[in-house]
Structure 1
Amino acid sequence: MANRNIKVEIKEKLHDGTLRSNLERFSEQYPTARAKAYANVESIEALRDDLKDMKSYAVAHIEELADEFQASLEKRGAKVFRAKDGDQLKQQLMEICRENGVHNIVKSKSMATEEIKLNDYLEQQGLHVKETDLGEWMLSVAGQHPSHMVMPAIHLNRKQCAKFFSDELKEDIPSDIPFMVQTARRVMREEFLKADMGISGANFGIAENGAIGLVTNEGNARIVTTLPPVHVIIIGYEKLIPKVSDASKIMRLLPRNGTCQRMVSYLTLIDGPTPIIHEKNGKMVEENKKVYAILLDNGRLKAAHDPVMKEVYQCVRCASCLNVCPIWSTVGGNVYGHIYSGGIGAILTGLLNSLDDFAQFSDLCIGCRRCTTVCPGKINIPDLIQELRNRRVAQKGLSLPEKLIFQKIMTNRKLFHTLLRTASIGQKPVKSGKFIRNLPLFFAKMTEGRSLPTIADKPFRDRTNDLFKHNPASPKMKVAFFSGCNLDFVFPQTGESVVKVLQDIGAEVVYPQDQNCCGKPVIGAGDLDTARKLAKKNIEALESANADYIIAACPTCAETLEKTYKELFVHDPAWLKRADNLSKKIREFTSFVEQAYEKDKRLKVTHGKEKITYHDSCHMRRSLGIYKEPRKLLESAAGYDYVEMNGADQCCGMAGSFGMKYADLSVQLLNRKLHNIKESGAQTIAVACPACMMQIGGGLDKNAPEIKIKHIADVLAENLSD
């Protein structure tokens, strides 16, 4: 993986029309199909909690379960081995092959064997190995790896599949799906009949009785595990569960999340050797088949004892996190570089391979948190990715440019703000109104498909004196406004709107001039030491305001101030107490104003000539859990008729530095959002996040300038009397 160029690979995928069409169609259909599968379930959250609790118990007792599983299976006549890594597993498997005179092997789908590249090794040893899962078989013919944990060949269409069939079988195979399935059955039947060994994975292994469970739709796994005289189970420690009854907790969620079925076609339980009739020395004989199980570690036990990363054991490999991931649904799984793709794949790569391998594609997780809403085990995937980023930075440090920006510039507020003011002057040659529409030379890529916002001539912090003259004479409360960088230097007029709305509900507004960047970019990069320095300065600045509330009109800032600062100081009691006291005063702007309007009975649905719709920012919708309040405010805004748009909570593609680092990919996500905005018929799109305002506003400027974008604060300020 060391010599890969991820950006080049992403560009290739973005220009692969077939892949894009397949993935986009699937990702659009998945949420509806999943919801249908859960239609008669009383409480999805209760099922998720049951699974999470069971898997949490399992990882806390993993060695005990492994011992019990081994004892139970051996009691039934199987042999169980343990492999510390892929090399040891391969050696153990070859010993089994030699003992049993194995030449031909059939395999059912197993991500663990993909992980250790088992097929390549077995073929190098002179063995004939055939994948029997239809998708895996086609990928093996194509020389590709799975792009999805459940549907490995989802990135291929039927014409591509037909070509692989034709190449492998040396005959012309039409792109007719039923015909290809029948052809695969014919070919595989011959493989099954001559196989000396079947190798399978396992969806779960039950410690109580030593049984493994295989959850499939094709039926090939059942044949692999029953027809050959030797069956080898390769199972990772994370698949172990305590009791038979616990299997139901997986089965109530895995099919619904993985393939949107209430139940799969085949659930196979195997708990040891069974009688089998086969040919031996020219005669048909009946004897027990041989069953072996190999428990694979390969970094799993280390993860199990990691107080943070052990959460990954709650994964049941349903891949629902991929199905809703905006990055995976745009470029597929192969750009992630290893066997496991998506956010969960980044984590597994970091744990099972190395942090260097993880770092190559870890920032493809944009932190939109859609995965957390569907994961049956309730794994907080973005936070685990962030933890691995933190660890890598602690080991390797930052790059020189990051060190300069984060540690020398951003922590020095006066220098940072001076540079921004200087940039507002330097941008004039390329500035066109409020946007930069084109950049020269190698910067041109940044303005393809979208314009970039300009830095304001006069930042918000220089406008406060005039604004605060209008504070109410008898205020109901004192509010400190935390603007964040964007509302200070890019959208100061929106900062003014925030102040006017707060004053209108009776607040005395103050602005602590010593406030700096909230630190989210630094935190995202994994530089926690620098983040703590920024946090301390902001805590001190906001404490000095002695306000009743601290208002942020940027959800990212609100989340950072309210939640992340406490996490930064978890080992520093004095600063933790100060961060906790601060967090109790933090309020996100729209939810704060909605409560005030509700109290004053100002929330009445109105209709106007102009249609307005709303985009949920990722931090707002899924980190802060705020989504009803902005809509109530917009529904009551005079002069507008609120309409809901499709995909309102899908990421716009900004995601901080991601939007610049992966400009091509960012623009693709933006284009989906622009399409949905246009389809809504709205003349105005409202947002509650200045970063989203930058991204969507830049896209509209290039592609649909007739549609306006406004922060909700700007919409509300329009309704205020002078």
Structure 2
Amino acid sequence: MADKQFKKKISDALENDVLRGALGRFGDTYITAREKAYEGYDFPSIRENIVKVKSYAASHLDEMIDQFEKAATARGAKVFRAASGEDAKKYISDLAKQQGVKRVVKSKSMASEEISLNKALMAEGIDVQESDLGEWILQLAGQHPSHMVMPAIHMTKEEVADVFSGHLDRVSQPVITELVKTARVELRKKFLEADMGISGANMAIAETGTLMMVTNEGNARLTSTLPRVHVFLVGIEKLVPKFEDATHILQALPRSATAQQITSYVTMVTGPTPAYYQDGSVKDKEFHIILMDNGRRKMYNDPKFKKTFQCIRCASCLNVCPAFQLVGGHVYGHIYTGGIGTILTNFLNSENDAKNPQNLCLQCGKCSEVCPGNLDIPEMILELRNRMGEKQGLPFTQKFALDVVSNRRLFHSLLRVASKAQKPFTKGQPVIRHLPLFLSGMTEKKSLPAVADIPFRDVFKTIKQDVKSPKGKVALYSGCLIDFVYPRIGEGVISALNEKGYEVVFPEGQSCCGAPATYMGDRNNARKLAKMNIEALDAENVDYVVSACPTCTHALKDSFLELVEDDPALAARAAELSRKSFDFSKLLSDLGGLEPGGDGVPLKVTYHDSCHLKRKMGVFAEQRKLLSDTKGVELIEMKESDRCCGFAGSYSIKFPELSEPILERKLNNIEETGAEVVAVDCPGCLMQISGGLDKRNPNIKVIHTAELLFEKRNKKKQKGNKK
């Protein structure tokens, strides 16, 4: 659970309208601009090439370092291998003393930020000047970067003007062109006076010993050419084997980072350039390259995190992250920000500094969708979370709740009790709109669903399945919400599968899929529930296992496999369960879909994509086809249909202050469609969105695809049954 100080940072960021506005405007335009930048390019192919290049370099790391050092040394460079940040700082400090350096000018380098290089050099009495415009602004403001590519993205032109006015000898007006002109005038003399230039690099090419910088300002070239001593500080993950390999990264880096076709400058430095001294002499400059580890090997040698070497530091994961767009980078607490930043912080700085930031991840998967390195950042953050849970334990209340959930009989008994105890709060309605005292905040912005009077496991026993000559048998995995909150969804699943000629069974021993335990970092209870469900579902004796909750389906197909991998017999059963498990819309589609039908009554429907269903399982067209084939349904596409609704399981409880504005954006998009109904395939999304709409616009209903199909296709049958 996040501590109070971290919560205070979040609160302060959310109250900063300037910050929210700056991040929101960029986030809104980035997606469209990125799509336009990639027009005519095969992003999956580019990504595949990047993965191939970067993974090869990582798996041959020592060979790449040796090759790079040999090539760079042959061209006049001095190469130093720094095992730690302290080693790198000492090398640069000693070099500065040896060369009589008094003034240093730096171009953008996140590696130098990572090890607090400026602070170390300034402690030695050396004047250090940032020359990247964003970095210089932050240096004057006494801040560190909030974004890996656009360090001052959180600041407005008015704030920058105030910073300039406070540090320079003249008042600056908030006009961007004038601010840039001011920076140019102030920094130009710094380049001319500097004794040492320090640069970062986007790539280090082993074949030729070349350093490559991809920038939008001319400062990097001035830093690398004017001072008589030049130092490149480069993380060992930046190595690529050959020159031609760099082209794949060059195709993706500007498009993913800033949605540009190409940056203003692509600078390649191979060996030292001439240095011009004040006495008129010309000599090759002192040219040094530091290849820094500082925890990178440890990260690569960890099987769960070795793919981090495929990251090209484009920060596209930040650009699409709903949480980052609300709070910015400074909330993350260290130099690297966003999802990938949390992982880097854990290995390159400390586990403690990553403890709070990892909680910000919604697990929506949008970052993985746009990542040119094809990293599954949410899965890696989950791994961090679970390791922290095993090492440090969970807070008592979380651990107690998860222990209850993993005890099937106790958990189900408590839910049955809750269905009776909630009566004073439901007042005969299927929702809870107000809770008393300290619980009141839970219903301030959205309603909560009531626990069903009769759970689905009891309803199932009353359902008559009239299937003549069944084609096969399907086990229905309901998950907690369908079983105890939305049993009608389960009825819809059965009806559709019966129509396709399949008999549905409901294994009584099933319980929670373990997702709450997994996402809160309680791997022990997650394993316990995985084992319980593998045994209960008995996949060997059915043709398919169907779920109508994508989070549960993901657990059945993927999570269980990992949780029981150390038990060969159980792992074999988990593999069989994985092979046979399908989400409702996917299974129905694979079985040929339903014949066009329905009551024909006009109904405007829009669709919200579940994060797990679309991005984990790639299912998004199937449910739309099912809805479109239903007579009377007019399907209206929603803007940002696949943007997270802010539920994310326990996230909406841990971080209601973040969940609510994310939900608000979703509700705005829903209302813009003019639809009467929102169809969803995730009970969690249903609970989140319907709760918000009940408070804001109760005329719009939210319904699961399975239930909507059931209602539209079986209305006459239902009326007949009532008679």
TM range (shorter): over 0.9
Q: How does 1:217-232 map to 2 (within 5 A)?
A: 217-232=216-231
Q: Distance in 1 between matches of 2:482 and 2:598?
A: 29
In the alignment, residue 66 of structure 1 is paired with which amino acid?
Answer: I
Q: Distance in 2 between matches of 1:206 and 1:544?
A: 51
**1:612 deviation in Å?**
0.6
Percent identity of the aligned residues? Answer: 48
2:572 corresponds to which of 571, 574, 577? 577
In the alignment, residue 126 of structure 1 is paired with which amino acid?
Answer: G
Q: How does 1:310-321 map to 2 (within 5 A)?
A: 310-321=306-317
Q: What is residue 89 of structure 2 aligned with on the other side?
A: 90
C-alpha distance after superposition, 1:107-152 (max 9, x if no partner): 1111111111111222222111111111111111112111111111
1:369 corresponds to which of 365, 371, 378? 365
Compare 201-210 and 352-361 and name the one that shifted more: 352-361
SS of the aligned residue for 1:339 comes to: coil
Question: What 5-or-longer segments of structure 1 have no aligned partner?
Answer: none
In the alignment, residue 445 of structure 1 is paired with which amino acid?
Answer: G
C-alpha distance after superposition, 1:560-587 (max 9, x if no partner): 1112211222232211111111222212
In the alignment, residue 697 of structure 2 is paired with which amino acid?
Answer: A
Compare 612-621 and 542-551 and name the one that shifted more: 542-551
Q: What is residue 33 of structure 1 aligned with on the other side?
A: 33
Question: Structure 2 length normalisation: TM-score?
Answer: 0.96
Q: How does 1:10-159 map to 2 (within 5 A)?
A: 10-41=10-41, 43-159=42-158
Q: 1:122 to 1:592 in 2, by over 3 A?
A: same
**1:395 deviation in Å?**
2.5
Q: What is residue 349 of structure 2 aligned with on the other side?
A: 353
Q: 1:18 to 1:513 in 2, by over 3 A?
A: same
2:188 is the alignment partner of 1:193: no
C-alpha distance after superposition, 1:295-332 (max 9, x if no partner): 21110121222222111000110011111111111211
In the alignment, residue 689 of structure 1 is paired with which amino acid?
Answer: C
2:464 is the alignment partner of 1:465: no
Aligned residues: 713
SS of the aligned residue for 2:294 comes to: coil
In the alignment, residue 175 of structure 1 is paired with which amino acid?
Answer: P
Q: What is residue 268 of structure 1 aligned with on the other side?
A: 267
Q: Distance in 1 between matches of 2:475 and 2:182?
A: 70
2:424 corresponds to which of 423, 429, 435? 429
User: 1:519–1:535: 8 Å Cα contact kept in structure 2?
Assistant: yes
Q: What is residue 543 of structure 1 aligned with on the other side?
A: 538
**1:228 deviation in Å?**
0.8
In the alignment, residue 198 of structure 1 is paired with which amino acid?
Answer: G
Q: Distance in 2 between matches of 1:18 and 1:446?
A: 28
Q: What is residue 672 of structure 1 aligned with on the other side?
A: 665
User: 1:605–1:635: 8 Å Cα contact kept in structure 2?
Assistant: no
SS of the aligned residue for 1:645 comes to: coil
Q: Distance in 1 between matches of 2:242 and 2:66?
A: 14
In the alignment, residue 534 of structure 1 is paired with which amino acid?
Answer: L
Question: What 5-or-longer segments of structure 2 have no aligned partner?
Answer: 718-723
Q: Distance in 1 between matches of 2:360 and 2:539?
A: 39
Q: Distance in 2 between matches of 1:147 and 1:424?
A: 47
Q: What is residue 711 of structure 1 aligned with on the other side?
A: 704
**1:604 deviation in Å?**
7.7
Q: What is residue 401 of structure 1 aligned with on the other side?
A: 397
Q: What is residue 620 of structure 1 aligned with on the other side?
A: 613
Q: What is residue 175 of structure 1 aligned with on the other side?
A: 174
1:586 corresponds to which of 576, 581, 606? 581
SS of the aligned residue for 2:618 comes to: coil
Q: What is residue 682 of structure 1 aligned with on the other side?
A: 675
Q: Distance in 1 between matches of 2:206 and 2:540?
A: 59
In the alignment, residue 637 of structure 2 is paired with which amino acid?
Answer: E
**1:438 deviation in Å?**
2.5
User: 2:146–2:337: 8 Å Cα contact kept in structure 1?
Assistant: yes
C-alpha distance after superposition, 1:347-395 (max 9, x if no partner): 1011112222222121211111111111111111111112222322332
SS of the aligned residue for 1:272 comes to: coil
In the alignment, residue 51 of structure 2 is paired with which amino acid?
Answer: K
**1:449 deviation in Å?**
1.8
Q: What is residue 720 of structure 2 aligned with on the other side?
A: none
2:335 corresponds to which of 327, 334, 339? 339
SS of the aligned residue for 2:277 comes to: strand
Q: Distance in 2 between matches of 1:505 and 1:274?
A: 73
User: 2:72–2:208: 8 Å Cα contact kept in structure 1?
Assistant: yes
Q: Distance in 1 between matches of 2:148 and 2:567?
A: 41
User: 1:606–1:641: 8 Å Cα contact kept in structure 2?
Assistant: no
**1:422 deviation in Å?**
2.0
In the alignment, residue 572 of structure 1 is paired with which amino acid?
Answer: D
**1:430 deviation in Å?**
2.7
**1:549 deviation in Å?**
1.6
Q: What is residue 162 of structure 1 aligned with on the other side?
A: 161
Q: Distance in 2 between matches of 1:608 and 1:38?
A: 42
SS of the aligned residue for 1:293 comes to: strand
C-alpha distance after superposition, 1:262-289 (max 9, x if no partner): 211101111111212121xxx2221111
SS of the aligned residue for 2:23 comes to: helix
Q: Distance in 1 between matches of 2:250 and 2:596?
A: 45
**1:247 deviation in Å?**
1.2
Q: Distance in 2 between matches of 1:471 and 1:553?
A: 21
Q: Distance in 1 between matches of 2:661 and 2:49?
A: 38
1:691 corresponds to which of 684, 691, 710? 684
Q: Distance in 2 between matches of 1:452 and 1:507?
A: 34
Q: Distance in 2 between matches of 1:373 and 1:6?
A: 28
SS of the aligned residue for 1:404 comes to: helix
Q: What is residue 635 of structure 1 aligned with on the other side?
A: 628
SS of the aligned residue for 2:207 comes to: coil
**1:525 deviation in Å?**
2.4
SS of the aligned residue for 2:356 comes to: helix
Q: Distance in 2 between matches of 1:261 and 1:154?
A: 16
User: 2:304–2:380: 8 Å Cα contact kept in structure 1?
Assistant: yes
Q: How does 1:236-255 map to 2 (within 5 A)?
A: 236-255=235-254
User: 1:106–1:129: 8 Å Cα contact kept in structure 2?
Assistant: yes
User: 2:3–2:356: 8 Å Cα contact kept in structure 1?
Assistant: no
**1:195 deviation in Å?**
0.8
User: 2:492–2:706: 8 Å Cα contact kept in structure 1?
Assistant: yes
User: 2:539–2:576: 8 Å Cα contact kept in structure 1?
Assistant: no
Q: Distance in 2 between matches of 1:608 and 1:228?
A: 76
Q: Distance in 2 between matches of 1:165 and 1:659?
A: 40
Which contiguous aligned blocks of 4+ residues in structure 1 show a shift greater than 6 angstroms? 604-607
Q: Distance in 2 between matches of 1:54 and 1:664?
A: 41
C-alpha distance after superposition, 1:441-475 (max 9, x if no partner): 332332232112221222111211211x2342433
Q: Distance in 1 between matches of 2:411 and 2:491?
A: 22
Q: Distance in 2 between matches of 1:713 and 1:74?
A: 66
Q: What is residue 721 of structure 2 aligned with on the other side?
A: none
Q: 1:261 to 1:545 in 2, by over 3 A?
A: closer
Q: What is residue 661 of structure 1 aligned with on the other side?
A: 654
Compare 328-337 and 687-696 and name the one that shifted more: 328-337
Q: Distance in 1 between matches of 2:118 and 2:54?
A: 30
Q: 1:352 to 1:502 in 2, by over 3 A?
A: same
Q: Distance in 2 between matches of 1:364 and 1:699?
A: 21
Q: What is residue 409 of structure 2 aligned with on the other side?
A: 414
Compare 443-452 and 168-177 and name the one that shifted more: 443-452
Q: 1:471 to 1:387 in 2, by over 3 A?
A: same
Q: What is residue 290 of structure 1 aligned with on the other side?
A: 286
* CA-based RMSD: 1.8
Q: Distance in 2 between matches of 1:654 and 1:354?
A: 29
Q: Distance in 2 between matches of 1:593 and 1:305?
A: 42
In the alignment, residue 521 of structure 1 is paired with which amino acid?
Answer: P
In the alignment, residue 307 of structure 2 is paired with which amino acid?
Answer: E
User: 1:233–1:294: 8 Å Cα contact kept in structure 2?
Assistant: yes
In the alignment, residue 515 of structure 1 is paired with which amino acid?
Answer: Q
Q: 1:4 to 1:412 in 2, by over 3 A?
A: closer
Q: Distance in 1 between matches of 2:450 and 2:663?
A: 19
SS of the aligned residue for 1:102 comes to: coil
SS of the aligned residue for 2:679 comes to: strand
